[in-house]
Amino acid sequence: MPLDAETKKLLRQAQEGDMEAFATVFEQYRPLMHSVAYRLVGDHDCDDVVMDSFLKAWRSLPGVRNLDAVKTWLCRTVRNTALDLIRKHTRERGRLVEDRPDENGLGIFDRVADENAPSAPRQGELSDLAEILQDVLGELSDDHRTMILLREADGLSYKEIAAAAGIGLGTVMSRLFYAKRKLRKLLEDRGVTL
């Protein structure tokens, strides 16, 4: 989707070294970038990933030719930064960062606010389902988990996922197909039917 004239102007200024112009554009996309980072690394490391992504994007901005793709470029930067951190933590701790509960003992899906506030029994069922979902997502490969989260949790289009992940549209479609099939099988193995 083409950028509006003001955003494009700010990006051109940023490419010429105006960090304030880049910060203005970055703030427009910060909520999306935060969401992508949160889905991949959880609350504890999310802000660090976003800030590291800001610095990486700032350094590489002069080389960006297609300014209209800034949204997907920033998402790809966040994704790559998050995956680097996950790999680092996995090597250090032997487990995925996103599976780590926060300081209140809540997992990633427990921290998602429910605006409809279900009844206590229903809330218990949902909590159990969230726990199962968190477990099965942890069993998916990094590629499959990323595809599912970018599509279902962050609402990116196939084209945006392809650009963010640096892969072809056909690869996105294939990975999502196999990721959903694997996810469905893992859920069925735990007695959850869709």
Residue-wise pLDDT tens digits, 61-86:
888 888 888 888 888 898 889 888 87
C-alpha 123/C-alpha 181 separation (Å) is 27
Give the model's pLDDT for residue 120.
45
Pick left, alpha or beta for residue 95 (phi over 0 → left; psi -120 to 50 → alpha; otherwise beta).
beta
Mean pLDDT of the chain: 78
Statement: 5-189 belongs to CATH 1.10.10.10? yes
d(Cα 45, Cα 118) in Å, to the nearest integer?
A: 29
Domain range annotation of the chain: 5-189
The model carries a pTM of 0.52
User: Measured between alpha carbons, how far is 73 from 79 in angstroms, rounded to an integer?
Assistant: 10
Residue 177 contacts residue 126 (beta carbons within 8 Å): no
CA–CA separation, 49 and 87 (whole Å): 13
Tell me which of 91 and 146 has the higher pLDDT. Answer: 146
pLDDT tens across 130-171, in order?
777 777 888 888 888 888 887 887 777 888 787 777 788 888
pLDDT at 89: 67
